[in-house]
């Protein structure tokens, strides 16, 4: 490996590359060597390219990106660094939770050092300068940054704000993930309705499924461990779903006898939060549906 590049330098570059590949157009073609040079790893030898290659494969898998390799007559036989591949990133692309657009920009905070990459990203609308002011509130034992992570170029709204309910004093807040004690999802129409209730208990959690008709009979309440409950919380209130940034109601009244859905959250102190829809769905509906389909096939 080139002496001027440390192992950590290559891993850092791989992480940066994957972060950018999430935003590129699906099907964009690169080579490993091309990416190495674009991200400052010039004249990287075969050992270094091998490290970068395997790091990209591993990081891409974690990010929901795949590389579709193809033969190319100019590529060196048996050398993956020069073989062009297409980036398949539809599953990884970040959608605006307000309008569903994938034309979004990542906020860059502070005072960044000028570079050609910075200028290019700003012109492409992939990055946006957020300034130096960082808004924080105290949540439990930590100060949480409330600045949005991204901006939608289509609807001009910000998103990626932490799931925090800010107190009237604007100094303290509560994290949704620590407040929710019950989730009830109801989905159906004229032919029947399915209700999934997930409840947090003191030491564990449980799920119960009820289908109507079928005399309203419920499947046996199934317990699962507390870790799975918190996995659900981070799924709903993280970048997979952005639940706390949804509208509360989605409707299309032009269709009669259609599909109706409701998502009700109950907090441990009795407060409630409600989302609903009638023949209309939020941009991350498929992710929400996937979660509840894992408990029942409705």
For 241-253, the pLDDT digits (tens) are 999 999 999 998 8
Q: Are residues 181 and 289 in the same domain?
A: yes
List the domain range (segments joined by +) for residue 249.
177-293
Location of structure tokens 């994938």: 102
Q: Is the pLDDT reported for residue 297 higher than 70? A: no
pLDDT value of residue 21: 92
Assigned domain for 95 exists: no
Location of structure tokens 């492409």: 124
Cα–Cα distances in angstroms (integers) from residue 41 to residues 19, 46, 147, in the given order: 17, 12, 32
Assigned domain for 217 exists: yes
Assigned domain for 170 exists: no
3-class SS of residue 283: coil
- Which of 92-101, 135-144, 198-207, 216-225 shows the lowest mean pLDDT across its residues? 216-225
User: How far is Cα 153 from Cα 186, in angstroms, rounded to an integer?
Assistant: 33
User: How far is Cα 295 from Cα 298, in angstroms, rounded to an integer?
Assistant: 9
Phi, psi (deg, nearest 5) at residue 189: -160, -145
Non-local (6+) Cβ contacts of 291 within 8 A are 232, 235, 236, 241
User: How far is Cα 223 from Cα 88, in angstroms, rounded to an integer?
Assistant: 37
Give the number of domains in the chain. 3
pLDDT digits (tens, 9 = 90+) for 121-169: 899 899 999 998 888 999 988 999 999 999 999 999 999 999 999 999 8
Q: Is the pLDDT reported for residue 18 higher than 90? A: yes
Assigned domain for 172 exists: no
Give me the mean pLDDT over the 84-106 stretch. Answer: 92
Q: Are residues 213 and 142 in the same domain?
A: no
How many C-beta atoms lie closer than 10 Å to residue 8's C-beta? 8
DSSP state of 140: T
Q: Are residues 16 and 115 in the same domain?
A: no
| Residue 145 near residue 225 (C-beta atoms within 8 A) | no
Output 76 or 142, whichever has higher pLDDT.
Answer: 142
**Proportion of the chain above pLDDT 70, given as a percent:** 93
CATH of the domain at 203: 3.30.1560
pLDDT value of residue 298: 45
CA quadruple 70, 72, 76, 78: dihedral sign: positive
Location of structure tokens 């946006």: 128
Output 68 or 75, whichever has higher pLDDT.
Answer: 68
**Proportion of the chain above pLDDT 90, given as a percent:** 60
């Amino acid at each position: 490996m080139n002496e001027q590049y440390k192992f950590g330098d290559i891993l850092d570059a791989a992480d940066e590359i994957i972060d950018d590949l999430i935003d590129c157009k699906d099907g964009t073609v690169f080579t490993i060597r091309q990416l190495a040079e674009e991200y400052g790893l010039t004249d990287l030898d075969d050992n270094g390219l091998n490290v970068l290659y395997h790091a990209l494969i591993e990081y891409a898998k974690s990010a929901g990106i795949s590389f579709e390799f193809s033969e190319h007559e100019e590529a060196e036989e048996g050398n993956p660094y020069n073989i062009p591949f297409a980036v398949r990133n539809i599953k990884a692309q970040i959608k605006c939770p307000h309008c569903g657009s994938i034309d979004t920009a990542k906020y860059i905070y502070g005072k960044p050092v000028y570079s050609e990459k910075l200028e290019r990203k700003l012109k492409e609308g992939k990055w946006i300068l957020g300034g130096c002011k960082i808004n924080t509130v105290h949540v439990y034992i930590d100060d949480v940054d409330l600045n949005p992570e991204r901006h939608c170029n289509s609807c001009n709204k910000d998103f990626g704000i932490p799931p925090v309910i800010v107190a009237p004093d604007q100094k303290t807040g509560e994290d949704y993930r620590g407040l929710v004690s019950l989730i009830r999802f109801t989905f159906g129409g004229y032919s029947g309705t399915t209700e999934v209730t997930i409840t947090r208990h003191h030491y564990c959690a449980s799920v119960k499924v009820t289908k109507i008709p079928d005399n309203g009979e419920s499947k046996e309440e199934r317990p699962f461990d507390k870790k799975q409950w918190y996995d659900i919380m981070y799924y709903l209130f993280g970048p997979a779903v952005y639940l706390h940034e949804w509208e509360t109601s989605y409707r299309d009244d032009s269709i009669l006898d259609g599909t109706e859905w409701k998502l009700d959250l109950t907090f441990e102190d009795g407060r409630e939060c409600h989302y609903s829809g009638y023949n209309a769905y939020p941009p991350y509906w498929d992710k929400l549906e996937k979660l509840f389909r894992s408990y029942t096939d409705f």
